[in-house]
Structure 1
Protein backbone atom coordinates (compact mmCIF):
# COMPACT_ATOMS: atom_id res chain seq x y z
CA UNK A 1 0.00 0.00 0.00
CA UNK A 2 1.46 3.31 -1.14
CA UNK A 3 -0.12 6.46 0.30
CA UNK A 4 1.50 8.48 -2.49
CA UNK A 5 -1.20 7.14 -4.79
CA UNK A 6 -3.82 9.18 -2.90
CA UNK A 7 -5.08 12.35 -4.58
CA UNK A 8 -6.25 15.67 -3.20
CA UNK A 9 -9.80 14.51 -3.82
CA UNK A 10 -9.12 11.48 -1.62
CA UNK A 11 -7.91 13.85 1.10
CA UNK A 12 -11.20 15.75 0.90
CA UNK A 13 -13.14 12.47 1.08
CA UNK A 14 -11.22 11.37 4.17
CA UNK A 15 -11.79 14.75 5.85
CA UNK A 16 -15.54 14.59 5.15
CA UNK A 17 -15.71 11.06 6.58
CA UNK A 18 -13.95 12.16 9.79
CA UNK A 19 -16.38 15.09 10.16
CA UNK A 20 -19.31 12.73 9.58
CA UNK A 21 -18.05 10.31 12.24
CA UNK A 22 -17.75 13.13 14.78
CA UNK A 23 -21.23 14.43 13.91
CA UNK A 24 -22.75 11.02 14.64
CA UNK A 25 -22.02 11.48 18.35
CA UNK A 26 -23.54 14.96 18.58
CA UNK A 27 -27.20 15.87 19.09
CA UNK A 28 -29.19 15.02 16.00
CA UNK A 29 -32.29 16.87 17.25
CA UNK A 30 -32.39 19.88 19.54
CA UNK A 31 -35.32 20.13 21.97
CA UNK A 32 -36.86 23.43 23.06
CA UNK A 33 -39.12 22.94 26.11
CA UNK A 34 -39.73 26.66 26.73
CA UNK A 35 -37.88 26.71 30.01
CA UNK A 36 -39.24 23.46 31.47
CA UNK A 37 -36.86 21.76 33.91
CA UNK A 38 -37.49 18.23 32.69
CA UNK A 39 -36.60 18.85 29.04
CA UNK A 40 -35.09 15.71 27.49
CA UNK A 41 -31.64 15.59 25.93
CA UNK A 42 -31.47 15.39 22.16
CA UNK A 43 -30.45 11.95 20.83
CA UNK A 44 -27.40 11.36 18.68
CA UNK A 45 -27.22 9.37 15.47
CA UNK A 46 -26.51 6.08 17.27
CA UNK A 47 -29.84 6.02 19.12
CA UNK A 48 -32.21 3.32 17.90
CA UNK A 49 -35.17 5.71 18.14
CA UNK A 50 -33.80 7.61 15.12
CA UNK A 51 -33.56 4.54 12.87
CA UNK A 52 -32.80 4.56 9.90
CA UNK A 53 -30.72 7.72 10.40
CA UNK A 54 -27.60 5.74 11.33
CA UNK A 55 -27.35 3.45 8.27
CA UNK A 56 -28.74 5.89 5.69
CA UNK A 57 -26.78 9.01 6.68
CA UNK A 58 -23.75 8.25 8.84
CA UNK A 59 -22.73 4.71 7.92
CA UNK A 60 -23.56 5.21 4.24
CA UNK A 61 -21.26 8.23 4.05
CA UNK A 62 -18.40 6.60 5.95
CA UNK A 63 -18.59 3.41 3.86
CA UNK A 64 -18.68 5.52 0.68
CA UNK A 65 -15.45 7.27 1.68
CA UNK A 66 -13.81 3.93 2.52
CA UNK A 67 -14.72 2.50 -0.91
CA UNK A 68 -13.37 5.56 -2.76
CA UNK A 69 -10.04 5.47 -0.90
CA UNK A 70 -9.72 1.67 -1.17
CA UNK A 71 -10.09 1.94 -4.95
CA UNK A 72 -6.71 3.72 -5.12
CA UNK A 73 -4.94 0.61 -3.82
CA UNK A 74 -6.67 -1.87 -6.14
CA UNK A 75 -5.42 -2.90 -9.60
CA UNK A 76 -6.92 -0.80 -12.35
CA UNK A 77 -9.92 -2.46 -13.97
CA UNK A 78 -11.02 -4.51 -10.95
CA UNK A 79 -14.81 -4.30 -10.62
CA UNK A 80 -17.54 -5.43 -8.25
CA UNK A 81 -20.82 -6.38 -9.93
CA UNK A 82 -19.88 -4.37 -13.01
CA UNK A 83 -18.75 -1.21 -11.19
CA UNK A 84 -15.40 -0.18 -9.72
CA UNK A 85 -15.07 0.54 -6.01
CA UNK A 86 -14.89 4.29 -6.50
CA UNK A 87 -18.08 4.19 -8.60
CA UNK A 88 -19.88 2.31 -5.81
CA UNK A 89 -18.51 4.82 -3.31
CA UNK A 90 -19.66 7.79 -5.37
CA UNK A 91 -23.19 6.37 -5.68
CA UNK A 92 -23.35 5.72 -1.94
CA UNK A 93 -22.06 9.24 -1.17
CA UNK A 94 -24.81 10.79 -3.30
CA UNK A 95 -27.38 8.61 -1.52
CA UNK A 96 -26.11 9.72 1.92
CA UNK A 97 -26.23 13.38 0.88
CA UNK A 98 -29.78 12.95 -0.45
CA UNK A 99 -30.87 11.29 2.81
CA UNK A 100 -29.32 14.08 4.90
CA UNK A 101 -31.00 16.78 2.84
CA UNK A 102 -34.49 15.31 3.11
CA UNK A 103 -34.08 14.51 6.80
CA UNK A 104 -33.27 18.11 7.66
CA UNK A 105 -35.97 19.54 5.36
CA UNK A 106 -38.79 17.17 6.21
CA UNK A 107 -38.13 16.33 9.85
CA UNK A 108 -40.73 16.72 12.66
CA UNK A 109 -41.31 20.20 13.99
CA UNK A 110 -42.37 19.27 17.51
CA UNK A 111 -44.04 16.82 19.86
CA UNK A 112 -46.60 17.35 22.58
CA UNK A 113 -45.87 16.17 26.08
CA UNK A 114 -48.33 15.68 28.94
CA UNK A 115 -47.88 19.24 30.21
CA UNK A 116 -45.69 21.06 27.70
CA UNK A 117 -45.15 21.29 23.99
CA UNK A 118 -41.63 20.35 22.89
CA UNK A 119 -40.33 21.96 19.73
CA UNK A 120 -37.74 20.09 17.66
CA UNK A 121 -35.07 21.73 15.57
CA UNK A 122 -32.01 20.38 13.74
CA UNK A 123 -29.18 19.65 16.13
CA UNK A 124 -25.46 20.21 15.64
CA UNK A 125 -24.97 16.60 14.57
CA UNK A 126 -27.68 16.82 11.90
CA UNK A 127 -26.30 20.05 10.45
CA UNK A 128 -22.70 18.78 10.40
CA UNK A 129 -23.86 15.51 8.83
CA UNK A 130 -25.51 17.43 5.99
CA UNK A 131 -22.38 19.53 5.40
CA UNK A 132 -20.10 16.47 5.50
CA UNK A 133 -22.26 14.41 3.13
CA UNK A 134 -22.66 17.27 0.65
CA UNK A 135 -18.89 17.78 0.68
CA UNK A 136 -18.28 14.05 0.32
CA UNK A 137 -20.66 13.73 -2.64
CA UNK A 138 -19.28 16.84 -4.39
CA UNK A 139 -15.64 15.73 -4.09
CA UNK A 140 -16.46 12.16 -5.15
CA UNK A 141 -18.26 13.36 -8.29
CA UNK A 142 -15.76 16.10 -9.24
CA UNK A 143 -12.44 14.31 -8.58
CA UNK A 144 -12.34 12.27 -11.84
CA UNK A 145 -13.17 15.43 -13.85
CA UNK A 146 -11.04 18.06 -12.06
CA UNK A 147 -7.24 18.08 -12.59
CA UNK A 148 -6.67 19.98 -9.33
CA UNK A 149 -8.41 17.23 -7.35
CA UNK A 150 -6.64 14.45 -9.27
CA UNK A 151 -3.21 15.85 -8.32
CA UNK A 152 -1.19 13.79 -5.79
CA UNK A 153 -2.01 14.48 -2.16
CA UNK A 154 1.66 14.22 -1.16
CA UNK A 155 4.46 15.73 -3.20
CA UNK A 156 6.89 13.30 -4.80
CA UNK A 157 10.53 13.94 -3.90
CA UNK A 158 12.69 14.11 -7.00
CA UNK A 159 16.19 12.62 -6.56
CA UNK A 160 18.95 14.78 -8.05
CA UNK A 161 21.87 12.70 -9.34
CA UNK A 162 25.29 14.25 -8.76
CA UNK A 163 28.73 13.36 -10.17
CA UNK A 164 30.41 10.41 -8.51
CA UNK A 165 31.88 11.47 -5.20
CA UNK A 166 30.66 15.08 -5.54
CA UNK A 167 29.94 16.94 -2.27
CA UNK A 168 26.29 17.11 -1.42
CA UNK A 169 25.37 13.92 -3.28
CA UNK A 170 22.07 12.37 -2.12
CA UNK A 171 22.34 10.03 0.82
CA UNK A 172 19.94 7.45 -0.59
CA UNK A 173 20.80 3.78 -0.36
CA UNK A 174 23.70 2.76 -2.58
CA UNK A 175 24.02 6.07 -4.41
CA UNK A 176 27.17 5.93 -6.57
CA UNK A 177 29.21 8.68 -4.98
CA UNK A 178 28.77 8.01 -1.25
CA UNK A 179 31.77 7.61 0.95
CA UNK A 180 30.98 3.92 1.27
CA UNK A 181 31.62 3.19 -2.41
CA UNK A 182 34.75 1.38 -3.57
CA UNK A 183 37.72 3.66 -3.84
CA UNK A 184 36.59 5.82 -0.90
CA UNK A 185 38.17 3.67 1.82
CA UNK A 186 34.98 1.94 2.99
CA UNK A 187 33.19 -1.29 2.04
CA UNK A 188 30.70 -1.24 -0.83
CA UNK A 189 26.95 -1.52 -0.15
CA UNK A 190 25.43 -4.89 -0.79
CA UNK A 191 25.20 -5.60 -4.48
CA UNK A 192 26.92 -2.33 -5.55
CA UNK A 193 29.21 -2.52 -8.60
CA UNK A 194 32.82 -1.39 -8.22
CA UNK A 195 33.08 1.87 -10.12
CA UNK A 196 36.89 1.53 -10.38
CA UNK A 197 36.79 -1.37 -12.83
CA UNK A 198 34.50 -2.53 -15.63
CA UNK A 199 31.71 -4.89 -14.71
CA UNK A 200 33.13 -8.39 -14.50
CA UNK A 201 36.70 -7.29 -15.31
CA UNK A 202 39.77 -8.11 -13.27
CA UNK A 203 41.80 -5.01 -14.16
CA UNK A 204 40.96 -1.40 -13.30
CA UNK A 205 39.51 0.68 -16.11
CA UNK A 206 39.07 4.39 -16.74
CA UNK A 207 36.77 6.40 -14.56
CA UNK A 208 33.46 7.42 -16.10
CA UNK A 209 32.00 10.89 -16.04
CA UNK A 210 28.23 11.24 -15.77
CA UNK A 211 26.61 11.06 -19.18
CA UNK A 212 29.78 9.76 -20.93
CA UNK A 213 30.37 6.12 -22.00
CA UNK A 214 33.22 4.16 -20.43
CA UNK A 215 35.94 2.94 -22.76
CA UNK A 216 36.71 -0.60 -21.67
CA UNK A 217 40.34 -1.67 -21.72
CA UNK A 218 40.99 -4.95 -23.54
CA UNK A 219 41.55 -7.83 -21.13
CA UNK A 220 43.06 -11.28 -21.68
CA UNK A 221 40.43 -13.85 -22.62
CA UNK A 222 41.19 -16.01 -19.61
CA UNK A 223 40.71 -13.08 -17.20
CA UNK A 224 37.35 -11.98 -18.59
CA UNK A 225 34.27 -12.89 -16.56
CA UNK A 226 31.03 -13.59 -18.42
CA UNK A 227 28.84 -10.51 -18.80
CA UNK A 228 25.08 -10.51 -19.12
CA UNK A 229 24.10 -9.87 -22.70
CA UNK A 230 21.72 -7.04 -23.52
CA UNK A 231 18.34 -7.79 -25.00
CA UNK A 232 18.54 -8.39 -28.74
CA UNK A 233 22.16 -9.58 -28.67
CA UNK A 234 23.71 -6.06 -28.56
CA UNK A 235 26.38 -4.70 -26.24
CA UNK A 236 26.79 -6.40 -22.82
CA UNK A 237 24.55 -4.92 -20.14
CA UNK A 238 26.39 -2.79 -17.57
CA UNK A 239 24.67 -2.53 -14.16
CA UNK A 240 23.78 0.99 -13.09
CA UNK A 241 22.04 2.84 -10.28
CA UNK A 242 18.67 4.45 -10.86
CA UNK A 243 15.77 6.10 -9.05
CA UNK A 244 12.07 6.17 -9.91
CA UNK A 245 10.03 9.42 -10.12
CA UNK A 246 6.96 7.82 -8.50
CA UNK A 247 6.22 4.61 -6.63
CA UNK A 248 6.26 1.60 -8.97
CA UNK A 249 5.68 -2.12 -8.37
CA UNK A 250 8.42 -4.70 -8.75
CA UNK A 251 7.13 -7.98 -10.16
CA UNK A 252 8.57 -11.51 -10.06
CA UNK A 253 11.43 -12.23 -12.46
CA UNK A 254 9.49 -15.02 -14.15
CA UNK A 255 7.10 -12.46 -15.64
CA UNK A 256 4.14 -13.40 -13.45
CA UNK A 257 1.91 -10.58 -12.05
CA UNK A 258 3.07 -11.38 -8.50
CA UNK A 259 4.38 -8.19 -6.83
CA UNK A 260 7.54 -8.84 -4.79
CA UNK A 261 8.29 -5.28 -3.70
CA UNK A 262 7.67 -1.63 -4.47
CA UNK A 263 10.22 0.96 -5.57
CA UNK A 264 9.74 4.37 -3.98
CA UNK A 265 11.14 7.80 -4.92
CA UNK A 266 14.20 9.10 -3.11
CA UNK A 267 15.95 5.71 -3.03
CA UNK A 268 18.62 4.38 -5.40
CA UNK A 269 18.26 0.86 -6.78
CA UNK A 270 20.62 -1.32 -8.78
CA UNK A 271 19.67 -2.45 -12.29
CA UNK A 272 21.38 -5.83 -12.80
CA UNK A 273 19.89 -6.95 -16.12
CA UNK A 274 17.62 -5.86 -18.94
CA UNK A 275 14.76 -7.73 -20.56
CA UNK A 276 13.38 -5.82 -23.51
CA UNK A 277 12.15 -2.50 -22.15
CA UNK A 278 12.01 -3.87 -18.58
CA UNK A 279 14.81 -3.90 -16.00
CA UNK A 280 15.76 -6.51 -13.44
CA UNK A 281 16.21 -4.41 -10.29
CA UNK A 282 17.67 -5.26 -6.90
CA UNK A 283 16.35 -3.65 -3.70
CA UNK A 284 18.15 -2.74 -0.48
CA UNK A 285 17.35 -6.10 1.14
CA UNK A 286 18.66 -8.11 -1.82
CA UNK A 287 15.30 -8.94 -3.41
CA UNK A 288 15.23 -8.92 -7.19
CA UNK A 289 12.32 -8.39 -9.53
CA UNK A 290 11.18 -7.03 -12.86
CA UNK A 291 10.50 -3.29 -13.23
CA UNK A 292 8.14 -3.14 -16.21
CA UNK A 293 7.59 0.63 -16.27
CA UNK A 294 10.98 2.31 -16.80
CA UNK A 295 9.69 5.66 -18.11
CA UNK A 296 11.20 8.72 -16.44
CA UNK A 297 13.78 6.87 -14.32
CA UNK A 298 16.93 8.78 -13.36
CA UNK A 299 20.30 7.10 -13.74
CA UNK A 300 22.99 7.66 -11.17
Structure 2
Protein backbone atom coordinates (compact mmCIF):
# COMPACT_ATOMS: atom_id res chain seq x y z
CA UNK A 1 0.00 0.00 0.00
CA UNK A 2 1.43 3.41 -0.97
CA UNK A 3 1.51 6.61 1.05
CA UNK A 4 -1.36 7.99 -1.02
CA UNK A 5 -3.42 4.97 -0.03
CA UNK A 6 -2.84 5.91 3.60
CA UNK A 7 -4.23 9.40 3.02
CA UNK A 8 -7.30 7.98 1.29
CA UNK A 9 -8.03 5.51 4.05
CA UNK A 10 -7.37 8.18 6.66
CA UNK A 11 -10.21 10.27 5.29
CA UNK A 12 -12.56 7.43 4.44
CA UNK A 13 -15.79 7.19 6.44
CA UNK A 14 -15.43 5.12 9.60
CA UNK A 15 -11.62 5.18 9.53
CA UNK A 16 -9.76 6.86 12.38
CA UNK A 17 -6.18 7.98 12.77
CA UNK A 18 -5.62 5.53 15.60
CA UNK A 19 -6.87 2.55 13.61
CA UNK A 20 -4.55 3.51 10.76
CA UNK A 21 -1.66 3.71 13.21
CA UNK A 22 -2.31 0.08 14.24
CA UNK A 23 -1.67 -1.09 10.67
CA UNK A 24 2.13 -1.14 10.10
CA UNK A 25 1.72 -1.80 6.39
CA UNK A 26 -0.20 1.44 6.01
CA UNK A 27 2.84 3.57 6.87
CA UNK A 28 5.59 1.37 5.48
CA UNK A 29 7.33 1.26 8.90
CA UNK A 30 8.45 -1.80 10.83
CA UNK A 31 5.77 -3.31 13.09
CA UNK A 32 5.71 -2.04 16.67
CA UNK A 33 5.69 -4.66 19.41
CA UNK A 34 4.65 -4.18 23.01
CA UNK A 35 2.96 -5.85 25.95
CA UNK A 36 -0.50 -6.91 24.92
CA UNK A 37 -2.31 -3.97 23.34
CA UNK A 38 0.07 -1.45 24.94
CA UNK A 39 3.51 -0.21 23.96
CA UNK A 40 6.47 -0.24 26.32
CA UNK A 41 6.01 3.47 26.97
CA UNK A 42 2.32 3.06 27.77
CA UNK A 43 3.08 0.20 30.18
CA UNK A 44 5.63 2.43 31.95
CA UNK A 45 3.02 5.18 32.23
CA UNK A 46 0.50 2.76 33.73
CA UNK A 47 3.07 1.52 36.26
CA UNK A 48 4.05 5.01 37.42
CA UNK A 49 0.41 6.06 37.64
CA UNK A 50 -0.56 3.00 39.75
CA UNK A 51 2.13 3.90 42.28
CA UNK A 52 0.99 7.55 42.42
CA UNK A 53 -2.69 6.61 42.65
CA UNK A 54 -2.23 4.11 45.49
CA UNK A 55 0.09 6.38 47.49
CA UNK A 56 -2.34 9.31 47.14
CA UNK A 57 -4.64 7.60 49.72
CA UNK A 58 -1.98 7.91 52.45
CA UNK A 59 -1.65 10.95 54.65
CA UNK A 60 0.26 13.89 53.21
CA UNK A 61 0.74 15.67 56.55
CA UNK A 62 2.82 14.40 59.48
CA UNK A 63 0.33 15.44 62.13
CA UNK A 64 -3.11 13.95 61.71
CA UNK A 65 -4.32 11.78 58.87
CA UNK A 66 -5.16 13.85 55.81
CA UNK A 67 -4.67 12.54 52.29
CA UNK A 68 -4.71 14.64 49.18
CA UNK A 69 -8.27 13.45 48.55
CA UNK A 70 -9.44 15.13 51.76
CA UNK A 71 -7.49 18.38 51.35
CA UNK A 72 -10.11 20.50 49.66
CA UNK A 73 -9.68 20.56 45.89
CA UNK A 74 -5.98 19.73 45.92
CA UNK A 75 -6.78 16.31 44.47
CA UNK A 76 -7.95 17.75 41.14
CA UNK A 77 -4.56 18.74 39.75
CA UNK A 78 -2.34 16.49 41.89
CA UNK A 79 -3.93 13.13 41.02
CA UNK A 80 -7.36 13.70 39.44
CA UNK A 81 -6.35 15.17 36.07
CA UNK A 82 -3.37 12.78 35.67
CA UNK A 83 -5.80 9.88 36.28
CA UNK A 84 -8.04 11.19 33.48
CA UNK A 85 -5.02 11.39 31.16
CA UNK A 86 -4.04 7.77 31.87
CA UNK A 87 -7.65 6.68 31.37
CA UNK A 88 -7.66 8.29 27.90
CA UNK A 89 -4.39 6.55 26.99
CA UNK A 90 -5.93 3.19 27.90
CA UNK A 91 -9.24 4.02 26.18
CA UNK A 92 -7.38 4.88 22.98
CA UNK A 93 -6.15 1.30 22.68
CA UNK A 94 -9.43 -0.41 23.43
CA UNK A 95 -11.68 2.07 21.61
CA UNK A 96 -9.93 3.77 18.69
CA UNK A 97 -13.17 5.57 17.80
CA UNK A 98 -13.51 7.03 21.32
CA UNK A 99 -12.16 10.29 22.65
CA UNK A 100 -9.16 11.32 20.55
CA UNK A 101 -8.51 14.82 21.89
CA UNK A 102 -9.26 17.12 24.80
CA UNK A 103 -10.10 20.50 23.36
CA UNK A 104 -7.37 21.26 20.85
CA UNK A 105 -4.89 18.85 22.52
CA UNK A 106 -4.31 15.29 21.46
CA UNK A 107 -4.33 12.58 24.13
CA UNK A 108 -0.53 12.54 24.44
CA UNK A 109 -0.39 16.34 24.58
CA UNK A 110 -3.05 16.45 27.28
CA UNK A 111 -1.19 13.81 29.29
CA UNK A 112 2.06 15.82 29.04
CA UNK A 113 0.34 18.91 30.41
CA UNK A 114 -1.47 17.00 33.18
CA UNK A 115 1.67 15.21 34.42
CA UNK A 116 3.77 18.41 34.29
CA UNK A 117 1.26 20.44 36.31
CA UNK A 118 0.94 17.69 38.93
CA UNK A 119 4.73 17.38 39.26
CA UNK A 120 5.04 21.14 39.86
CA UNK A 121 2.37 21.06 42.59
CA UNK A 122 4.06 18.15 44.40
CA UNK A 123 7.37 20.00 44.09
CA UNK A 124 5.71 23.00 45.76
CA UNK A 125 4.74 20.73 48.69
CA UNK A 126 8.39 19.69 49.06
CA UNK A 127 9.66 23.25 48.69
CA UNK A 128 7.32 24.52 51.40
CA UNK A 129 8.44 21.75 53.74
CA UNK A 130 12.14 22.43 53.17
CA UNK A 131 11.56 26.17 53.64
CA UNK A 132 9.94 25.42 57.00
CA UNK A 133 12.61 22.94 58.20
CA UNK A 134 15.62 25.08 57.12
CA UNK A 135 15.22 27.73 59.86
CA UNK A 136 14.52 25.04 62.48
CA UNK A 137 10.84 24.44 61.98
CA UNK A 138 9.07 21.07 62.15
CA UNK A 139 8.84 18.60 59.31
CA UNK A 140 5.19 18.91 58.30
CA UNK A 141 4.76 16.49 55.36
CA UNK A 142 5.27 12.76 55.05
CA UNK A 143 7.10 10.52 52.61
CA UNK A 144 3.98 10.63 50.38
CA UNK A 145 4.94 13.94 48.77
CA UNK A 146 8.34 12.54 47.75
CA UNK A 147 6.88 9.40 46.21
CA UNK A 148 4.20 11.40 44.39
CA UNK A 149 6.74 13.87 43.06
CA UNK A 150 9.06 11.21 41.65
CA UNK A 151 6.12 9.25 40.23
CA UNK A 152 4.89 12.35 38.40
CA UNK A 153 8.44 13.15 37.33
CA UNK A 154 8.58 9.67 35.74
CA UNK A 155 5.27 10.35 33.97
CA UNK A 156 6.69 13.62 32.64
CA UNK A 157 9.68 11.69 31.34
CA UNK A 158 7.48 9.12 29.54
CA UNK A 159 5.26 11.81 28.00
CA UNK A 160 7.20 15.03 27.45
CA UNK A 161 10.68 13.64 26.74
CA UNK A 162 9.78 10.23 25.31
CA UNK A 163 9.65 11.44 21.65
CA UNK A 164 13.40 12.14 21.89
CA UNK A 165 14.55 9.02 23.75
CA UNK A 166 14.77 5.47 22.38
CA UNK A 167 13.00 3.08 22.53
CA UNK A 168 10.05 5.21 23.67
CA UNK A 169 10.25 7.43 20.59
CA UNK A 170 8.93 4.46 18.59
CA UNK A 171 5.45 5.43 19.81
CA UNK A 172 5.62 8.67 17.86
CA UNK A 173 7.29 7.57 14.64
CA UNK A 174 5.37 6.72 11.45
CA UNK A 175 2.09 8.09 12.74
CA UNK A 176 -0.35 8.95 9.93
CA UNK A 177 -0.74 12.57 8.94
CA UNK A 178 -3.84 14.30 10.30
CA UNK A 179 -5.16 17.87 10.01
CA UNK A 180 -4.60 19.99 13.09
CA UNK A 181 -7.47 21.06 15.30
CA UNK A 182 -8.71 24.57 14.53
CA UNK A 183 -7.31 25.95 17.81
CA UNK A 184 -3.91 24.36 17.16
CA UNK A 185 -3.40 25.79 13.66
CA UNK A 186 -1.19 28.74 12.78
CA UNK A 187 -2.71 32.11 13.53
CA UNK A 188 -4.04 34.34 10.77
CA UNK A 189 -2.10 37.51 9.90
CA UNK A 190 -3.41 40.77 11.34
CA UNK A 191 -3.78 43.65 8.90
CA UNK A 192 -4.53 47.32 9.48
CA UNK A 193 -8.20 48.25 9.49
CA UNK A 194 -9.07 50.15 6.27
CA UNK A 195 -9.98 53.78 6.68
CA UNK A 196 -13.57 54.74 5.79
CA UNK A 197 -14.02 56.22 2.35
CA UNK A 198 -15.06 59.90 2.26
CA UNK A 199 -18.65 60.66 1.31
CA UNK A 200 -19.27 61.30 -2.40
CA UNK A 201 -19.08 64.93 -3.41
CA UNK A 202 -22.67 64.82 -4.69
CA UNK A 203 -23.87 64.21 -1.13
CA UNK A 204 -22.36 67.50 0.03
CA UNK A 205 -24.25 69.98 -2.19
CA UNK A 206 -25.68 71.61 0.89
CA UNK A 207 -22.26 72.51 2.24
CA UNK A 208 -20.94 76.04 2.26
CA UNK A 209 -19.27 77.16 -0.97
CA UNK A 210 -15.51 76.87 -0.67
CA UNK A 211 -13.15 79.45 -2.00
CA UNK A 212 -10.89 78.25 -4.86
CA UNK A 213 -7.35 79.44 -5.33
CA UNK A 214 -8.33 81.39 -8.45
CA UNK A 215 -11.47 82.88 -6.92
CA UNK A 216 -11.94 85.88 -4.73
CA UNK A 217 -14.91 84.66 -2.63
CA UNK A 218 -14.44 84.19 1.13
CA UNK A 219 -16.67 81.90 3.19
CA UNK A 220 -18.33 83.54 6.16
CA UNK A 221 -17.26 81.54 9.28
CA UNK A 222 -20.46 82.49 11.13
CA UNK A 223 -23.02 81.81 8.40
CA UNK A 224 -21.48 79.53 5.73
CA UNK A 225 -24.53 79.93 3.48
CA UNK A 226 -24.29 83.72 3.33
CA UNK A 227 -22.47 84.98 0.24
CA UNK A 228 -19.24 86.74 1.07
CA UNK A 229 -17.80 89.78 -0.75
CA UNK A 230 -15.32 89.28 -3.55
CA UNK A 231 -12.15 91.22 -4.17
CA UNK A 232 -12.15 94.19 -6.50
CA UNK A 233 -12.20 93.43 -10.22
CA UNK A 234 -11.45 96.16 -12.73
CA UNK A 235 -11.72 98.79 -10.01
CA UNK A 236 -15.27 97.68 -9.20
CA UNK A 237 -16.24 96.07 -5.93
CA UNK A 238 -18.93 93.43 -5.74
CA UNK A 239 -21.05 93.32 -2.54
CA UNK A 240 -23.64 90.75 -1.40
CA UNK A 241 -27.30 91.58 -1.66
CA UNK A 242 -28.05 89.85 1.63
CA UNK A 243 -26.75 90.33 5.10
CA UNK A 244 -25.06 87.64 7.20
CA UNK A 245 -28.01 86.90 9.49
CA UNK A 246 -31.23 85.45 8.05
CA UNK A 247 -30.52 86.60 4.50
CA UNK A 248 -31.97 90.03 5.30
CA UNK A 249 -31.21 92.77 2.75
CA UNK A 250 -27.80 94.24 3.40
CA UNK A 251 -27.43 97.87 4.35
CA UNK A 252 -26.43 100.20 1.56
CA UNK A 253 -27.47 100.95 -1.94
CA UNK A 254 -27.39 97.32 -3.06
CA UNK A 255 -30.78 96.15 -4.38
CA UNK A 256 -32.45 93.09 -2.85
CA UNK A 257 -32.90 91.76 -6.36
CA UNK A 258 -30.21 93.03 -8.73
CA UNK A 259 -31.93 91.25 -11.60
CA UNK A 260 -34.97 93.54 -11.21
CA UNK A 261 -33.00 96.80 -11.41
CA UNK A 262 -30.17 95.84 -13.75
CA UNK A 263 -30.96 95.69 -17.47
CA UNK A 264 -31.05 92.24 -19.01
CA UNK A 265 -27.77 91.39 -20.71
CA UNK A 266 -27.63 91.09 -24.41
CA UNK A 267 -28.00 87.50 -25.68
CA UNK A 268 -24.45 87.44 -26.97
CA UNK A 269 -22.98 89.34 -24.02
CA UNK A 270 -21.04 87.25 -21.51
CA UNK A 271 -20.26 88.65 -18.08
CA UNK A 272 -17.31 87.17 -16.20
CA UNK A 273 -18.14 89.02 -12.99
CA UNK A 274 -18.60 86.15 -10.42
CA UNK A 275 -21.60 86.19 -8.13
CA UNK A 276 -23.56 83.87 -5.87
CA UNK A 277 -26.84 82.41 -7.07
CA UNK A 278 -29.66 80.62 -5.28
CA UNK A 279 -32.14 78.59 -7.37
CA UNK A 280 -35.74 78.06 -6.14
CA UNK A 281 -35.67 74.29 -6.82
CA UNK A 282 -32.99 71.69 -7.42
CA UNK A 283 -31.59 71.83 -10.94
CA UNK A 284 -28.92 69.96 -12.87
CA UNK A 285 -25.65 71.56 -13.90
CA UNK A 286 -24.54 69.72 -17.06
CA UNK A 287 -21.42 69.26 -19.11
CA UNK A 288 -21.45 71.76 -21.97
CA UNK A 289 -20.01 69.28 -24.46
CA UNK A 290 -21.90 66.08 -23.64
CA UNK A 291 -24.98 67.40 -21.86
CA UNK A 292 -24.47 64.87 -19.05
CA UNK A 293 -25.39 66.07 -15.51
CA UNK A 294 -22.32 66.87 -13.42
CA UNK A 295 -23.90 67.94 -10.13
CA UNK A 296 -27.02 69.55 -8.73
CA UNK A 297 -27.65 72.86 -7.04
CA UNK A 298 -30.65 73.67 -4.91
CA UNK A 299 -32.36 76.21 -2.69
CA UNK A 300 -30.38 75.13 0.40
CA UNK A 301 -26.93 76.28 -0.74
CA UNK A 302 -25.54 79.18 -2.73
CA UNK A 303 -23.80 78.30 -6.00
CA UNK A 304 -20.87 80.23 -7.45
CA UNK A 305 -21.56 81.58 -10.97
CA UNK A 306 -18.32 82.40 -12.75
CA UNK A 307 -19.89 83.57 -16.03
CA UNK A 308 -23.32 84.96 -16.94
CA UNK A 309 -24.33 84.21 -20.52
CA UNK A 310 -27.74 85.69 -20.18
CA UNK A 311 -29.83 82.59 -20.85
CA UNK A 312 -27.44 80.31 -18.96
CA UNK A 313 -24.91 80.41 -16.16
CA UNK A 314 -21.47 78.82 -15.93
CA UNK A 315 -21.41 77.35 -12.42
CA UNK A 316 -18.38 76.13 -10.48
CA UNK A 317 -18.79 73.42 -7.83
CA UNK A 318 -16.83 73.61 -4.57
CA UNK A 319 -14.71 70.67 -5.75
CA UNK A 320 -13.61 72.53 -8.89
CA UNK A 321 -15.99 71.02 -11.47
CA UNK A 322 -17.51 73.50 -13.92
CA UNK A 323 -20.79 73.07 -15.78
CA UNK A 324 -23.65 75.00 -17.38
CA UNK A 325 -27.02 75.80 -15.79
CA UNK A 326 -29.52 76.31 -18.62
CA UNK A 327 -32.62 76.95 -16.48
CA UNK A 328 -31.95 80.33 -14.84
CA UNK A 329 -35.55 81.27 -14.17
CA UNK A 330 -36.33 82.54 -10.68
CA UNK A 331 -32.64 82.64 -9.67
CA UNK A 332 -31.80 84.91 -6.73
CA UNK A 333 -28.47 86.65 -7.19
CA UNK A 334 -26.18 87.39 -4.31
Q: Which TM-score tier does this pair reach, normalised by the shorter chain? A: 0.3 to 0.5
Which structure has more RCO (C-alpha within 8 Å, separation ≥ 6)? Answer: 1
Q: Over alpha carbons, which structure has the higher Rg?
A: 2
Indicate the structure with greater strand content. Answer: 1
Q: Which has the higher helix share?
A: 2
TM-score, reference length from structure 1:
0.39
TM-score w.r.t. the length of structure 2 is 0.35
